Amino acid sequence: MRTCRTLGIGIVAVHAPGEEAAAHVAEADTAVPLPVPAGGGPVDAYLDPGAIVAAARTAGADAVHPGYGFLSENPALARAVTAAGLTWVGPGADAIEGMGSKTRAKETARAAGVPVAASLDPADVRAEDLPVLVKASAGGGGRGMRVVRDLADLPAEARAARAEAAAAFGDPEVFCEPYVERGRHIEVQILADAHGTVWAVGERDCSVQRRHQKVVEEAPAPGLPEDVRRGLHEAARGLARAIGYVGAGTAEFLVPVRPPGEGGGGAFGTPVFLEMNTRLQVEHPVTECVTGLDLVEWQIRIAEGEPLPDGGPPPPAGHAVEVRLYAEDPRQGWRPRTGVLTAFEVPAATARFDRPAGPGVRLDSGVEAGDAVGTDFDPMLAKVVAHGRDRRDALRRLAAALAGARVHGVGTNRDLLVRVLRHPVFARAAEHPWELHTGFLTGDRLTALATPLAAPDTEELAALAAALVGAEASRGSGPLPAGIPAYWRNLPSGAHLRRYTTDDGREVTAAHRTVRGAPVPERPGVRVRSVTADRAAPAAATAGRAVLEVDGLVRAFDVHGSGDRIHVDTPHGSVALTRVDPLPVPEAAVNPGALPAPMPGTVTSVDVAAGEKVRAGQTLLRMEAMKMEHRITAPAAGAVREIPVAPGERVAAGTPLAVLDYEGQHSR
Q: Note the pLDDT of residue 453.
A: 94
3-class DSSP state of 280: coil
Question: Which pLDDT does position 534 carry in this prediction?
Answer: 54
Please indicate whether residue 497 or residue 362 has the higher confidence score (pLDDT). 362
Q: Which of 179, 210, 226 is the last residue of a domain?
A: 179
Higher pLDDT, 370 or 163: 370
Over 70: is that where the pLDDT of 263 sits? no
Whether 563 has a pLDDT exceeding 80, the answer reads: no
Query: Residue 552's Cα: distance from chain center in Å?
Result: 39
632 to each of 223, 550, 655, 656, how far by Cα in Å? 41, 44, 13, 11
Lowest mean pLDDT among 241-245, 373-377, 609-613: 373-377
Crossing angle of helices 93-100/102-111, nearest 10°?
100
Displacement of CA 493 from its chain's centroid (Å): 49
Q: Which of 133, 155, 179 is the last residue of a domain?
A: 179
Which helix (H) or strand (E) element contains residue 239?
Answer: helix 226-242
Residue 585 within any structural domain of the chain = no
Cβ atoms of 509 and 520 within 8 Å: the answer is: no
CATH number at residue 495: 3.30.700
**C-alpha to C-alpha distance for 57 and 63, rounded to whole angstroms:** 10
Q: What is the DSSP letter of 433?
A: G
| DSSP-derived pairing of the beta strands 272-277 and 628-633 | unpaired
Domain-embedded: residue 279 = yes
pLDDT of residue 542: 77
Contact 117, 177 (CB under 8 A): yes
Do 393 and 309 sit in the same domain of this protein?
Answer: yes
Looking at the fold, whether 249 and 277 belong to one and the same domain comes out as yes
Q: What is the mean pLDDT of residues 124-147?
A: 82
Last residue of a domain, one of 425, 449, 473: 449
Q: Which of 47-51, 491-495, 530-534, 647-651 has the lowest mean pLDDT?
A: 530-534
Question: Is there a domain that residue 121 lies in?
Answer: yes
User: Coil, helix or strand for 259?
Assistant: coil
Where residue 531 falls among pLDDT bands split at 50, 70, 90?
Answer: very low
* Range in 207-221, 410-424, 503-517, 641-655 the model is least confident about: 503-517
Number of H helices, E strands in the chain: 16, 38
- For residue 183, the model assigns a pLDDT of 93
SS (H, E, C) 511-532: EEEECCCCCCCCCCCCCEEECC
Place 535 in a pLDDT band, splitting at 50, 70 and 90: low
The answer to whether residue 524 scores a pLDDT higher than 50 is no
Can you give the length of the chain in residues?
Answer: 668
Where residue 53 sits, what CATH number does that domain have? Answer: 3.40.50.20
If phi over 0 gives left and psi between -120 and 50 gives alpha, with beta otherwise, what is residue 323? Answer: beta
CATH of the domain at 424: 3.30.470.20
pLDDT for 141: 62
CA–CA separation, 152 vs 345, rounded Å? Answer: 48
Indicate if 86 and 127 belong to the same structural domain: no
Domain CATH code at residue 175:
3.30.1490.20
| Same-domain check for residues 539 and 434 | no
Same structural domain, 381 and 239: yes
What is the extent of the structural domain holding 219? 181-449
For residue 558, the tally of other CB atoms under 10 A from its CB is 16
Q: Given this model, what pLDDT does residue 497 score? A: 83
CA-closest candidate to residue 250, choices 286, 290, 201, 288: 201
Residue 59 included in any domain: yes
Half-sphere exposure of 507 (CA within 13 A, CB side): 7
β 213-219/351-352 pair status: unpaired
**pLDDT given at position 329:** 84
Q: Residue 344's pLDDT is what?
A: 97
Would the pLDDT of 520 be above 50? no
Distance CA 359, CA 391 (A): 11
Name the most confidently modeled range: 288-297, 471-480, 522-531.
288-297
User: Is the confidence at residue 122, as pLDDT, over 70?
Assistant: yes
Q: Are both 654 and 550 inside the same structural domain?
A: no
Q: Which pLDDT does position 523 carry in this prediction?
A: 35
Contact 426, 420 (CB under 8 A): yes
Please check whether residue 221 is in contact with residue 321, taking contact to mean a CB–CB distance below 8 angstroms.
no
Q: Report the pLDDT value the prediction gives residue 484, as an integer from 0 to 100.
A: 58
Q: Higher model confidence: residue 480 or residue 314?
A: 314
Q: Rounded mean pLDDT of 191-212?
A: 96
The stretch 497-503 carries a mean pLDDT of: 89
588 inside domain:
no
Report CA 417 to chain centroid distance, whole Å: 10
* pLDDT one-digit tens code per residue, 337-356: 889 999 999 999 999 999 99
Separation CA 574–CA 462 (nearest Å):
9
3-state secondary structure of 608: coil
Among 341, 389, 387, which Cα is nearest to 365's? 341
- 391 vs 173 pLDDT, higher one: 391
- Whether 48 is in a domain gets the answer yes
pLDDT recorded at residue 66: 96
Termini Cα distance of the chain: 58
The least confident of 8-22, 73-87, 435-449, 494-508 is: 494-508
Answer whether residue 620 is part of any domain: yes
* pLDDT for the residue 434: 92
How large is the average pLDDT for residues 368-375? 91
Do 168 and 187 sit in the same domain of this protein?
no
The domain total for the chain is: 5
Residue 549 and residue 116: Cα distance in Å, rounded? 60
For every residue of 467-480, DSSP letters joined together read: HHHHHHHTTTTSSS
**pLDDT at residue 481 in the model:** 60
Tell me how many degrees the CA angle 429-434-439 measures, rounded to the nearest 5: 95
Q: How far is it, in rounded angstroms, from Cα 506 to Cα 548?
A: 22
Q: In the chain, what is the greatest distance between 2 CA atoms, to the nearest angstrom?
A: 87
Q: What is the pLDDT of residues 22-63, one digit of tens each?
A: 999 999 999 999 999 988 889 899 999 999 999 999 999 999
Do 18 and 122 lie in one domain? The reply is no
CATH code where residue 609 lies: 2.40.50.100
pLDDT-based confidence at 139, cuts 50/70/90?
low
pLDDT for the residue 73 = 92
Q: Which helix (H) or strand (E) holds 422?
A: helix 414-422
Whether residues 427 and 460 fall in one domain: no
For residue range 285-309, what is the model confidence (pLDDT) as tens digits? 999 999 999 999 999 999 999 999 9
Q: Average per-residue pLDDT in the chain?
A: 88
Query: Which residues are bridge partners to 605 per DSSP?
Result: 622
Q: Is the domain of 363 the same as that of 270?
A: yes
- Sequence-distant (6+) residues with CB within 8 A of 101 are 137, 138, 171, 173
Whether the predicted pLDDT of 516 surpasses 60 = no
| Interval 203-249: pLDDT, tens | 999 999 998 899 999 999 999 999 999 999 999 999 999 999 999 99
Examine the domain organization and report whether 229 and 320 are in the same domain.
Answer: yes
Phi then psi dihedrals of residue 2, to 5 deg: -65, -40
- CA dist 292 and 269 (Å) reads 31
CA angle centred on 635, ends 633 and 640, rounded to 5°: 70
HEC secondary structure over 637-652:
CEEEEECCCCCCCEEC
Share of the chain above pLDDT 90, in %: 59
Check if the beta carbon of residue 101 is closer than 8 Å to that of residue 138. yes
Whether residues 170 and 189 share a domain: the answer is no
Task: Give dist(CA 643, CA 59) in Å, integer.
Answer: 47
Evaluate whether residue 300 is within a structural domain: yes
Lowest-confidence pick of 207-216, 452-461, 577-586: 577-586
